[in-house]
Amino acid sequence: MEHILGTLKNADTMIKRYPFLNKTGMIFGTIFHDIGEVLDYRFDSKANDYITTNHRRLIGHCGGAIEILKPYFSKYNISMDLQEYLFQIIGSHMGNEMASISEMCTPETICLNFADHMDALADSMQRAKDKYLQGKTNKITVANSCLYFYE
Ligand SMILES: [Fe+2]
């Protein structure tokens, strides 16, 4: 939930900076872009922890989001054009990574990709800096980059 709020703040900044963006697409896409992750994990009582599902391995959260949303779009008679537009944003927000269902081809998809990654990376960097400040480690790697904190 924190990640969705962080991504929404990034998306809001982009909407203000780039007024040609479709606000509905950006906001809807941001709110629902990771909803498919509910199909990626399940609680395993033996392990007493969440484990990765076959759904995550075989389909991923982008396709999962569409599975979840499609019945609601049908129920509320959302036009096929709008469905396909919103599915492009949600289904391709991971860029060229394997989880995406197709290439990014709208400005909103590309901007959501950046807003999403920026929030996830900033969170990782904050946690890394917290570990650094606590003296737990002096070698911190985030997204394959070794971080150096300047004070
Ligand atoms: Fe995300």
CA of 4 to the centre of ligand 1 (A): 7
pLDDT reported for residue 120: 92
Q: Are 14 and 111 in contact (CB under 8 A)?
A: yes
Which domain does 105 fall in, by range? 2-113
How far apart, in whole angstroms, are the C-alpha atoms of residue 29 and residue 125?
25
Ion ligand 1: residue ranges with CB closer than 5 A: 34, 116
Q: Is residue 106 part of a domain?
A: yes
- Domain membership of residue 15 (yes or no) is yes
Q: Assess whether pLDDT exceeds 90 at residue 110.
A: yes
Give the burial string for 117-132 (b: 16+ CB within 10 Å, else e).
bbbbeeeebeebeeeb
Using the mean position of ligand 1's atoms as its centre, give its distance from the Cα of residue 30 in Å.
Answer: 8
Q: How confident is the model at residue 11 (pLDDT cuts 50, 70, 90)?
A: very high
Domain membership of residue 85 (yes or no) is yes
Would you say residue 65 lies in a domain? yes
Least confident window among 60-74, 102-116, 120-134: 120-134
The reported pLDDT for the residue numbered 94 is: 92
Which pLDDT score, from 0 to 100, does residue 144 have?
Answer: 76
On the CB side of 94, how many CA atoms lie within 13 Å of its CA? 16
Give burial (CB, 10 Å; 0-12/13-18/19+) of 5: exposed
69-84, pLDDT tens digit by residue?
999 999 999 999 999 9
Mean local confidence (pLDDT), 15-34: 97
The chain-wide mean pLDDT, for the chain, equals 91
- Look at residue 19 and tell me if it is in a domain: yes
Q: What is the pLDDT of residues 28-56, one digit of tens each?
A: 999 999 999 999 999 999 989 999 999 98
Ligand 1 center to 143 CA (angstroms):
15
How far does residue 82's CA lie from ligand 1's centre (Å)?
A: 21
CB atoms within 10 A of CB 36: 24
- Tell how far the Cα of 32 is from the centroid of ligand 1, in angstroms: 9
Tell whether 8 is covered by a domain.
yes
**pLDDT at 139 (0 to 100):** 73
Q: Does 61 map to a domain? A: yes
Total domains present in the chain: 1
Structure confidence at residue 73 (pLDDT): 96
